[in-house]
Amino acid sequence: MSTQRPMVEVRGARKSFGAVEVLKGIDLSVERGQIVAIIGPSGSGKSTLLRSINHLETLNGGEVWLDGVQVNQPLHGQAFER
């Protein structure tokens, strides 16, 4: 078991488009060097999840962490310059 923090961590991700809830409390943890495939049927939220991790979509709820820094909240100073 690894003692390092995950490189990418998503906690309770929620995203809706109007009345349609696309992401319903998604949790994901990816260790440094790990390869992950996100698969599922069309319309299941795969692209929305990836866009949220990359900060191209704003979540309605939940957290996105990259290397120990929460990136889906307003940050000050050099927190994004990692």
Query: Considering the entire predicted model, what is its pTM?
Result: 0.81
| In a domain? residue 42 | yes
| In a domain? residue 80 | no
Q: Which amino acid, residue 7? A: M
Predicted pLDDT at 76: 60
Q: Please give the residue range of the domain that contains residue 40.
A: 8-70
| In a domain? residue 39 | yes
What's the CATH number where 66 sits? 3.40.50.300
Predicted pLDDT at 77: 58
Predicted pLDDT at 4: 86
| In a domain? residue 65 | yes
For the chain, how many structural domains are there in total?
A: 1
With a CB cutoff of 8 Å and minimum separation 6, the contacts of 9 are: 28, 29, 30, 63, 64, 65
Predicted pLDDT at 73: 81
Predicted pLDDT at 41: 96
Q: Which amino acid, residue 37? A: A
| In a domain? residue 78 | no
Q: Which contiguous run of DSSP H or E holds residue 13?
A: strand 8-17
Low-confidence ranges of the chain (pLDDT < 70): 1-3, 74-82
| In a domain? residue 82 | no
